Amino acid sequence: MLYHVRMDVHPPGDHHSVEFEQLKAEEKRVAQDLQRNGKWLHLWRIAGQYANFSIFDVEDHDELHQVLTSLPLFPFMSIAVTPLAQHPSSIR
């Protein structure tokens, strides 16, 4: 199943701390692994915001929940999920 996901990151007040910098590095590693594994198909930064639009391809809602909650920055995110379906006019 395909999902359009918006993730907005709300860093803590001490977002320049060593711990938060480590979380960001781990987030990058996890995101790149998910991309290599074909789960995270697209990742776009939203200009001027600490946010992204992403497309995930996972088995179901439960797998998406597991993927999102496993992200190191998950505790600092607000997330909006939209399930996607094939459009009848699409040529793809």
92 vs 82, more confident:
82
Q: How many other C-beta atoms lie within 10 A of the C-beta of residue 39?
A: 16
33: domain range? 2-84
> Residue 67 in contact with residue 58, Cβ under 8 Å?
yes
The helix or strand, by DSSP H or E, that contains position 91, with its residue range, turns out to be none
Task: Quote the pLDDT of residue 36.
Answer: 98
Q: Where are the alpha helices (DSSP H) in the chain?
A: 18-36, 61-69
Please write the tens of the pLDDT for every residue from 34-44.
Answer: 999 999 999 99
User: CA 13, CA 65: separation in Å to the nearest integer?
Assistant: 27
Residue 89 lies in a domain: no
CATH of the domain at 12: 3.30.70.1060
Full-model pTM: 0.91
Mean pLDDT estimate for the chain = 96
| Distance separating alpha carbons of residues 62 and 6, to the nearest angstrom | 17
Q: How many domains does the chain have?
A: 1
